Structure 1
Amino acid sequence: MASIRKRVLPSGKVRYDVTVTKRGAPRLYQSFDVKNHAMTWARETERDIERGAWRGTAMAENTTLGQLLERYSTEVAPTKKSARDLQNRARRILKHDIAKLPLISLSPEHLAQFRDLRLKSTVRLGGPKGKTTRQISGQTVRHDLALIRAAIRHALREWGLVLPGGDPVQHVRLPPQSKGRERRTEGDEFERILAGARSSKSPKLAAAIEFSVETTMRRAEVCNLRWKDINFERRIARCRDTKNGDPRDAPLSARATAVLQSLPRRDGDHEELIFGMKPGSYTQAFNRVIDRLGLHDLRLHDLRHEGTSRIAKKLNGNTMALAKVTGHKTLSMLQRYTHLRAEDVATLLD
């Protein structure tokens, strides 16, 4: 049978504590703000026990959101293409108070508060303190909530997690998607970046930057290229580690080929990494150059935008050929990366 006890907290808030005692199941407890919710839970729990459909909520009561994210990072994230990004994102969420909440107590209200707090936060981009911060984007917060949702849903399917209200993230309004970045290098910025890279401590940084723009490859594709992946006769590079997991052959421009041919290599070592950098190291080295030049609004991934827009102009609107270069599978995604300047388009109208 079930019993409901009304309790007044020191703050004046009223809580309704429910105890369900039924043969065939341990004594169950739950607390609610609304009496009707307490009565509904008691009836449904008793009915589930009677028909053998009851599942315990011990995991939800004894596991915090932070503990769930840590387990997900250890057991599930390594199987994903974006493992490092997922693990870094989980570590950032663990710094927030919401990570301390037991899963049984995690509500849409808590998640909405977390969302709003994140949207008000800022992140440093490097450079002089106080001068290179920007507000967290809505897209970043969408990714945060997506990770929480993925961890909870995986636990519901695979780890025996039971949440009486189901996945709480599904009831939270997501921030609007951020406007796609349109940042490209202006004036002599690209030449200054190359010059700064040549004078840096990374011997192949300038070559990697120029190659990235010439091929529009993502940083992981660039950093994972080995000499065995290059066919100079056919002028193609075999990208084995792509974002969607499907290997592809990327065409090489004359300049991209020349960049590769200018690099030193060990005789007979076809497994040697061409640029000798890990993706994270590439980003850090690029950011150091950008900081020294004072271009704090420019990111490494913007090189892909720059390269795509340059090649789009060269190909004179041939989207199929452009997609072959960039590896995009849909026109909508390709359009996000193509930012032709109005003056560039004007010259095509002559």
Structure 2
Amino acid sequence: MASFRKRQGSWQVQVRRKGAPLVTRTFASKSDAQAWARQIETEADRRGLPTDRKALDQMTVGDIVTRYRDTITPTKRGAVREEMAIRVLLKHEIAKAPLSVLTVGKVATHRDLRLKTVKPSSINRELALYRHAFEIARRMWDIPIPENPFALVTKPKVANGRSRRLEPGEWELLREACERSRNPHLLPMVEFGLETAMRRGEVLRLRWRDIEWTRRTLHIPKAKNGHPRTIPLTRRALSLLQELKPAEVVLDAVVFPTTEDAVKMAWRRAMGRVSLPDFRYHDLRHEAVSRFFEMGLSIPEVALISGHRDTRMLMRYAHLRPETIADKLRNINRPT
């Protein structure tokens, strides 16, 4: 049985099990203490069951993550990005830890160390990768891991979603900075993103065959959520495509012949030339969604364009300006 006591701002937990010695640990939060206690109690309850402890002594966290990278990651749509993320994980000290000594407490310590250098949202993505790798190891690879400590550790709280939009005059600054870029595709990509709410990867994968000029639509066969969609195009979006259209169109050719790394580099350099505090490339999507709502489009109409299947998630992208709504209210003729 586990008992908890708060002392000097920390939580002390003691676990007693018949036939097992008293075990005590101290944690910064009660949730971490409870998770650790559950793991210790489970291990005590399972004592006597056949477990290949030698195998766990010889295998590390990094071994699990490496095997996951080599066998599971290549099957995913975002394989390249996940491989880069795993490259970072393998540099962490916890990657060297043998599975036999891995506990919720060790994972919590790792989490707290990472929180000193990266944001909670980044930590949660890392923990999700670890968690899935260990679940695969337990269920599919027959590795005798009694519990998944990455699933038991408490995730850090993430602040509310971003609400950064382009303020009056900032689009002109952004456009000028993009015009000065050595990558000729940066400015049309940025403006096209504002007109379509498409993600950077979706824009880069766009091919001429995906555009239906007569219907004024664009087909996105591969989206982040796995669901293809066809979106209507604004007048400016069509104009941009016409400007980019070569004399002889190769239907299978991409509209923006550049790479994601090249765009990231060009964006960073453009941001270094202009004063746009805390404005990120993905904020273009927030800006576009907000503009569509301000144009008067309905939730289903905006969701059709953005690809959101969850209304709550869509509303996290909508940041309407009160002054815009005030202008609309002023123009409404109310009956007297």
Quote how far apart the aligned CAs of 1:74 are.
1.8
1:163 counterpart residue number: 145
3-state secondary structure, aligned to 1:202: coil
Paired letter, 1:324: L
**Runs of 5+ in structure 1 lacking a partner?**
1-30, 49-53, 122-135
Query: Of 245, 268, 271, which residue of structure 2 is paired with 1:290?
Result: 271
In 1, Cα distance between equivalents of 2:40 and 2:212 = 69
Distance 1:43 1:80, change over 3 A: closer
Quote how far apart the aligned CAs of 1:42 are.
8.6
In 1, Cα distance between equivalents of 2:45 and 2:177 = 70
Distance 1:297 1:43, change over 3 A: closer
Aligned pairs for 1:163-312 (under 5 A) are 163-164=145-146, 166-265=147-246, 267-312=248-293
Q: Which has the higher contact order (CA 8 A, sep 6+)?
A: 2
Quote how far apart the aligned CAs of 1:225 are.
0.2
Quote how far apart the aligned CAs of 1:33 are.
8.2
Distance 1:39 1:284, change over 3 A: closer
Q: Are the counterparts in 1 of residues 194 and 287 from structure 2 also a CA contact under 8 Å?
A: yes
Q: Count how many residue pairs are aligned between Structure 1 and Structure 2.
A: 297
Query: Of 124, 130, 135, which residue of structure 2 is paired with 1:142?
Result: 124
Query: Of 54, 65, 71, which residue of structure 1 is paired with 2:67?
Result: 71
Paired letter, 1:71: R
Q: Using the aligned pairs only, state the percent identity.
A: 36
Aligned pairs for 1:108-123 (under 5 A) are 108-121=104-117
3-state secondary structure, aligned to 1:249: strand
1:4 counterpart residue number: none
Distance 1:249 1:44, change over 3 A: closer
**Runs of 5+ in structure 2 lacking a partner?**
1-19, 25-38, 331-336
1:86 counterpart residue number: 82
User: When the two structures are superposed, what TM-score results if normalisation uses the length of structure 1?
Assistant: 0.79
Greater displacement, 76-85 / 142-151:
76-85
Paired letter, 1:94: L
Quote how far apart the aligned CAs of 1:39 are.
12
Q: Are the counterparts in 2 of residues 227 and 271 from structure 1 also a CA contact under 8 Å?
A: yes
In 2, Cα distance between equivalents of 1:202 and 1:252 = 25
In 2, Cα distance between equivalents of 1:217 and 1:76 = 27
Query: Of 315, 318, 333, which residue of structure 2 is paired with 1:335?
Result: 315
Q: Are the counterparts in 2 of residues 266 and 272 from structure 1 also a CA contact under 8 Å?
A: no
Greater displacement, 290-299 / 140-149:
290-299
1:325 counterpart residue number: 305
Give CA-to-partner distance per residue, 1:126-154, whole Å, 9 cap, x none.
xxxxxxxxxx2211111111111111001
